[in-house]
Chain A
């Protein structure tokens, strides 16, 4: 078999593998073997391919994603802060270390309507719990002087299967 044909075959098998894992990893003792049998690779190839995708950064994480409602998580707050540019990286790292914070990003301000440049998500069973968590975080890091707003969500109109890292 010439090299081009080999390459094409690999690509096809990889595409099958990618489509398979997108549906979810098999919950079997040897999940890579199960996948290998389904996509026509062997177990070592599957593991090497997934490892490569991970090291290339194509796959950020291969793991489990929970649904909020069945866990009783009803309150979802986007907490936004207007932080001086010089402090933002430090504060972002601090907030990301808080267990209650599940996402933390720097985003551009959209002046004059939107002065906030640091966004984090806090989830909880109820609004009061989320606000208590936020109060505790503000106290711990002495953030009282930093303007912030809490945007609770009241309705999720659409929640796709989050194939990409959710924002």
Chain B
């Protein structure tokens, strides 16, 4: 098993690990023995592929190996939102925003609009409601920037 973690918490990946990760970011074929098919594509044994995946999971490189749902098709709402929060209030407002269960990711970024978060709601109608609730709770406006068009990337994160 080669995906070991060093004291800097950086996993050391060899070529096979990288190929496995890059190939499987694309998805798993729906056939009886999908790992055998992928292993063959990569020119390795099925057992080796499965061992690598176990190793990558144990070393924390894999956060998930499963379905990515299409929130809109599930009937949910999804958007990216931003706020401009004065430096001294940033942490307090971040806590208020993160207290909403609908806030999925929240990143601090270097810009006047310095708080960027994803809202995922059970229905699209909930998005404006949650935004209004966040504005009411924090006293700051929320800029709603839903996706209008997606340009598909070939690989999600080449390693």
Contacts and interface: CB of A to CB of B under 8 A. Distances in A.
Contact of B61 (A67, A123, A164): A67
Contacts of B64: 24, 64-65, 161-162
B66 A96 contact: no
A64 B65 contact: yes
A53 B70 CA distance: 10
Interface residues of A, number: 78
B151 interface: yes
A7 interface: no
A89 interface: yes
Nearest to B109: A151
B73 A164 contact: no
B27 A62 contact: yes
Q: Sort chain B's interface into a size bin.
A: 35 or more
A42 B9 CA distance: 41
B32 A156 contact: no
Contacts of A58: 69-70, 73-74
A63 B28 contact: yes
B53 interface: yes
Nearest to A57: B73
A161 B69 CA distance: 12
Interface in A102-153: 102-108, 110, 113-114, 119, 123, 149, 151-153
A40 B147 CA distance: 38
Nearest to B59: A70
Contacts of B133: none
Contact of A61 (B27, B148, B158): B27
